[in-house]
């Protein structure tokens, strides 16, 4: 009997120990759960704050984009207004002008005819070269200067109280066009001579070639591609430098070699 009581006591002690351990483990687990719940709650709050901040940032970005769009539109309008004012000023001070063509090539070596405008206006002997959507090399500026010098000599015109504006603007849809090696010099000279004489170049006579201070027409590249472009633009006669008619070949229009700008002017104006 006594032995049974001892065993019972031992069993009760073991149960109490197990119960205490279970209670401690349960208490510890509950505390961990509370801590995790608190962490989840804190994270949820942070997430909500982050969402609010993101929403605010998105709203700010939208506002900035709208403001940028408005600013760009205002800038575009101001630019257009400025261009119109500049054109009006040029028109008010313009003495004469002429429209002609230069010929460039694209990256596939296909020729393209590019509008050329020479304007002479009241000024102080300055030369302005404006090129748009056309890639030119370092010879273009000097070529334009030579063209105006030769045109003055041919027409015996003084420009001390005049400015000359040369505009070469290709339509943007034409892609990247190139004028290299001063190949537009001859055409610029023809257009400048026409402007100085108050005449108009012929639209059915186009030319290519460099211009030198001795009035000679120099050789260019891609002669055939440029001849085809001239033909496709309605030219009936294509003027080329000496020795390059053979490079152009048969293109369905007349191809003529000219040695000097004086020879070119006889056909082109």
pLDDT digits (tens, 9 = 90+) for 210-224: 999 999 999 999 999
- Distance between CA atoms of residues 107 and 33, nearest Å: 71
pLDDT digits (tens, 9 = 90+) for 108-118: 889 999 999 99
Q: Give the domains, in start order, of the chain with CATH numbers.
A: 97-268 (3.30.230.10)
**Concatenated DSSP letters for 232-248?**
HTT-SEEEE-TT-HHHH
Question: Residue 86 above 70 pLDDT?
Answer: no
Percent of the chain with pLDDT over 90: 53
What is the structure's pLDDT at 47?
79
Report residue 173's pLDDT band, with 50, 70 and 90 as the boundaries: low
**8 A C-beta contact, residue 264 and residue 258:** yes
- Distance between CA atoms of residues 96 and 89, nearest Å: 14
Burial class (CB in 10 A: 0-12, 13-18, 19+), 21: exposed
What is the structure's pLDDT at 21?
67
Report residue 87's pLDDT band, with 50, 70 and 90 as the boundaries: low
Q: pTM value?
A: 0.68
């Amino acid at each position: 009997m006594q032995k049974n009581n001892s065993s019972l006591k031992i069993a009760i002690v073991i149960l109490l120990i197990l119960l205490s351990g279970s209670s401690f483990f349960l208490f510890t687990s509950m505390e961990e759960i509370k801590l995790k719940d608190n962490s989840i709650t804190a994270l949820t709050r942070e997430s909500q704050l982050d969402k609010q901040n993101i929403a605010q940032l998105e709203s700010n970005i939208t506002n900035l984009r709208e403001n940028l769009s408005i600013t760009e539109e205002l800038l575009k309008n101001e630019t257009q207004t400025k261009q119109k004012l500049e054109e009006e000023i040029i028109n008010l001070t313009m003495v004469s002008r002429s429209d002609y063509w230069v010929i460039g090539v694209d990256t596939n070596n296909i020729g393209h005819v590019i509008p050329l405008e020479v304007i002479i206006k009241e000024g102080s002997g300055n030369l302005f070269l404006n090129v748009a959507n056309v890639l030119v090399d370092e010879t273009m500026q000097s070529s334009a200067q030579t063209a105006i010098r030769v045109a003055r000599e041919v027409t015996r015109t003084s420009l001390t109280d005049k400015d000359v504006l040369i505009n070469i603007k290709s339509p943007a849809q034409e892609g990247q066009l190139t004028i290299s090696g001063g190949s537009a010099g001859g055409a610029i000279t023809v257009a400048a001579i026409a402007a100085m004489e108050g005449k108009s170049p012929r639209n059915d006579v186009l030319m290519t070639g460099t211009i030198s201070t001795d009035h000679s027409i120099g050789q260019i590249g891609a002669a055939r591609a440029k001849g085809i472009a001239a033909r496709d633009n309605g030219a009936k006669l294509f003027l080329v430098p000496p020795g390059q008619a053979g490079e152009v070949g048969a293109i369905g229009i007349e191809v003529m070699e000219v040695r000097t700008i004086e020879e070119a002017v006889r056909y082109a104006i």
